[in-house]
């Protein structure tokens, strides 16, 4: 009989609850435990899952030999602390994005991964959104020729999503890193590695917040492609990540909240010329179920993790470089390599 892996979820906010569903839907896993610093939240979620082990202290689970896998779904600021401790305890770790809020913590996680025999995955979930996956497939198949310009946006209104106990309202949580990392990682995944960035920020929407609420970044890719990321946490609209991929022979428009993507590809769709054709896709903008399935496959079959620690590190390096450029009034900043 195949081994069933005991999984513990740290952090029981919206993303933590999504991960619980992912665990329950995976035949190789068992929801062994849940952890949250809020006892009331812990009790409420535990009541929905009789028999799970609970604790407000994540260290309890790291000392438990029955625990195989830890999912770190806590606020960004504790990703490094919890991931490093879990790896040192020999647990496999799936950590939510961003890998960390600063490069010092990124380095700590990278070092811990390199010392550990356990698997580590960074949860860059845009790579699992059906619309984005289809867009990458079309790009990789050459349906729009050679990419020359790519853009994505992280358009959100944190005025309605301050986080449990206002954890997002923190001067150390730069929106370009905390949220914009989604768009940065998507462009890296589709177009390649980024070399340098120039960025500007302003602060017109969430004026009572301690951070700039809009950043526009222009990236130079190593392969010559130009990229743009707009990260706004105060814009007045529903959440979306509208993204456009421009190639020499076509264009793709897509996002993570629509039931279709748009393709203009005269070479492959001569009947439509330059007109866009809609391609149906499922809507699943936080497909953590598919994410967990890939992670468990890597653990069980001893495969490389697709979104490994270096992928997470490169994305944070690009996002933090953009933030640095914005603080310097748009001065170009080279992106650290991993």
Count other C-beta atoms under 10 Å from residue 141's C-beta: 9
pLDDT bucket at 2, cuts 50 / 70 / 90: confident
- Peptide linkage before 98 cis (omega within 30 of 0): yes
Strands (DSSP E) found in the chain? 5-10, 29-35, 53-55, 69-72, 92-96, 120-123, 147-155, 194-202, 214-221, 226-232, 243-247, 250-254, 260-264, 277-280, 333-334
The share of the chain scoring above pLDDT 90, in percent, equals: 97
pLDDT bucket at 164, cuts 50 / 70 / 90: confident
Residues 6+ apart with CB under 8 A from 131: 254, 255, 256, 258, 260, 261, 281, 283
Determine the Cα–Cα distance for residues 179 and 96; give it in Å rounded to an integer. Answer: 12
Determine the Cα–Cα distance for residues 336 and 94; give it in Å rounded to an integer. Answer: 24
Q: Alpha carbon of 296 to those of 7, 71, 98, 222, 299: distances in Å? A: 11, 12, 20, 32, 5
Closest by CA position to 99, among listed 119, 123, 116:
123
- Whether the pLDDT of residue 1 is over 70: the answer is no
Cα 95 to chain centroid distance, Å, stands at: 9
Ordered DSSP codes for 162-201: --GGGTT--TT--HHHHTTHHHHHHHHHHH--EEEEEEEE
Determine the Cα–Cα distance for residues 144 and 248; give it in Å rounded to an integer. Answer: 6
DSSP at 145: -
Biggest CA–CA distance in the chain, Å, is 63
pLDDT bucket at 27, cuts 50 / 70 / 90: very high
- Whether the pLDDT of residue 55 is over 70: the answer is yes
User: What pLDDT, in 10s, does the model give residues 220-270?
Assistant: 999 999 999 999 999 999 999 999 999 999 999 999 999 999 999 999 999
Mean residue pLDDT across the chain: 97
- Whether the pLDDT of residue 285 is over 90: the answer is no
Count other C-beta atoms under 10 Å from residue 335's C-beta: 21
């Amino acid at each position: 009989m195949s081994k069933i892996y005991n999984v513990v979820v740290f952090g029981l906010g919206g993303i933590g609850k999504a991960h619980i569903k992912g665990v329950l839907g995976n035949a190789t896993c068992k929801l062994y435990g849940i952890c949250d610093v809020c006892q009331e939240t812990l009790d409420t979620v535990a009541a929905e899952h009789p028999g799970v082990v609970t604790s407000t202290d994540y260290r309890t689970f790291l000392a438990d030999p029955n625990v195989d896998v830890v999912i770190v779904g806590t606020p960004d600021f504790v990703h490094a602390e919890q991931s490093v401790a879990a790896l040192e305890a020999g647990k496999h770790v799936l950590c939510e994005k961003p890998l960390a809020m600063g490069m010092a913590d990124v380095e700590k996680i990278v070092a811990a991964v390199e010392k550990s025999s356990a698997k580590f995955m960074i949860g860059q979930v845009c790579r699992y959104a059906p619309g984005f996956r289809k867009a990458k497939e079309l790009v990789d198949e050459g349906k729009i020729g050679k990419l020359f310009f790519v853009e994505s946006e992280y358009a959100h209104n944190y005025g309605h999503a301050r986080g449990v106990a206002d954890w997002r309202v923190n001067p150390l949580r730069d929106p370009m890193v905390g949220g914009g990392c989604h768009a940065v990682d998507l462009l890296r995944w589709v177009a390649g590695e980024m070399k340098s960035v120039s960025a500007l920020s302003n602060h017109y929407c969430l004026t009572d917040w301690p951070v700039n609420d809009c950043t526009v970044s222009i990236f130079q890719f190593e392969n010559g492609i130009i990229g743009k990321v707009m990260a706004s946490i105060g814009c007045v609209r529903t959440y979306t990540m509208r993204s456009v991929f421009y190639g020499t022979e076509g264009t793709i428009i897509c996002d993570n909240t629509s039931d279709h993507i748009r393709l203009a590809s005269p070479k492959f769709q001569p009947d439509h010329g330059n007109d866009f054709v809609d391609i149906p896709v499922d809507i699943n903008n936080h497909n953590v179920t598919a994410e967990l399935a890939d992670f468990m496959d890597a653990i069980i079959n001893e495969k490389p993790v697709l979104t490994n620690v270096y992928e997470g590190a490169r994305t944070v390096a690009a996002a933090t470089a953009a933030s640095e450029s914005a603080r310097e009034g748009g001065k170009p900043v080279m992106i650290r390599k991993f």
